[in-house]
A and B are shown apart, each in its own frame.
Chain A
Amino acid sequence: MSAMTLIQHLLTGISLGGAYALIAIGYTMVYGILRLINFAHGDIFMMAGYFMIFAMASFPWFISIPITLIATVVLGVLIEKAAYKPLRSAPRMSIMISAIGVSYLLQNLATYLFTALPKSYPEVPFLKRIFQFGEISASLVTLITPVLTVVLVIILIQLINHTKIGMAMRAVSKDTETARLMGIKVDTTISMTFVIGSLLAAVGSILYFTDRMTVYPYSGSLPGLKCFVAAVFGGIGSIPGAVVGGFVIGICETLLVAFGYSTYSDAFTFLLLIVVLLVRPTGLFGEAVTDKV
């Protein structure tokens, strides 16, 4: 493999990893607070793709993007209120089943509303400009995805460490009951988590689909699972961990395909998950908390 090809692969991997990272943050934050794998998160990401398609049908991109972000956030919060909140005191298994149910519902709803045929993702003109460096070619979106990811993560970490709502989130994820006793509005805090998670999923969706250009009802399920693995790999509950996990999985997957093992690229993701869980259950950056795994 020539150096140029390798660089091209790495570029693809890093860009893919950036989108994964943004989705993985949603998983890690929700898991950190609710101890719930939000199976529907991948499908929220898919729905964000459809929102963008419909927004772009009647508005220019600079209006469509905010519409998409808001619609996705509303959807995310709605799911939390309707499907997770009533089960807060239920056994964990029930909430998990509810999450699987929501995912199933969103996929079927998308099939019903938008048909199973793939829909073309609209182009945001400036994002699609193609750059050519010698043999390597990449569109602007490929290049800005990792940059944007890192910037968003830095903002998010500042938010969590230095604002009141961030402090509330940390408190709720440490100990919900005590946090409630301390006067923290637990429900608001949890909703806020879903707002942030969905917002980042929407940004991830715009970047991911602008690069890959087609949305269909199942386009969220596999990336969703992979991003969950990324979150576990980085240490569930840890935001930098999710980002690192996203990049690692994106790059590894791309390189595996590059070396001719595409058959096993999905299997690899899950193998990585199992190895991490066995060797270091708290992930790369996870705090060692007893009775977590």
Chain B
Amino acid sequence: MFRNQYDTDVTVWSPEGRLLQVEYAMESVKQGSACVGLRSNSHCVLGALKRSVSELSWHQKKLLEIDDHMLVGIAGLTADARTLAKYMRNECLHNKYVYGTPMPPHQLMADVADKHQRTTQTYVRRPFGVGLLVASVDPLTQKPHLYQTCPSGNLYEFYASAIGARSQSARTYLEKHHETFGDASRDDLIVHALQALVGCVSGDDELTKENASIGIVGKDEKFTLLEGDALQPFLDRLELKGGDDDEEEAGDDAAAEAEPMET
């Protein structure tokens, strides 16, 4: 294959000015199970679809607590995400120790993004193979923020977004409804998150209290995780799968997900 000579090292530019190793790392984000995030003017909610590797295994954790005011949802290599989460937790603790206040999310996100960038410019280690959705509340303004990271080191702030396998359908759902999220209540956001997730479930499966997971942070609300029975009331509020939202799934993933290298 012609392009193969430029795609095995992170430190090599292709003749078109692309970093193929980094683009491949971004592919691994699409292999992970889906994760959605959205925010109102007061809350930020993450939803994730948990996988279990076998019948005897528990469902794999998808939402990780970073601090009282911050959590991450992951898609891609879980072990890579754990490294990043550990780093983020440390930074939060450090900030609290040094300044006596919780870490400002935007500052942490800049550091995390730079951490990603470093792996793309030195020969020492491979890029991270994971994408993060970070739900947070700025401790100073008490305003919610939703960030998305990418193995390339790009960083975005969204009103709503989704990453991982079959996440295009979730994005379509969110795009259709995001203008109503601003004033939505905390519970409505949770239902929206679950509704968006429904489309990400693979064909013969469905969204249940076992495989769904919801995390919330908000103005004056510390990190809360909703799983299992606590989720059931929200699942009961979902429109049944097969509703009209699913028909819009047509959008092709390739086109929509080509964005992270964008400059």
- B is bound to A: no
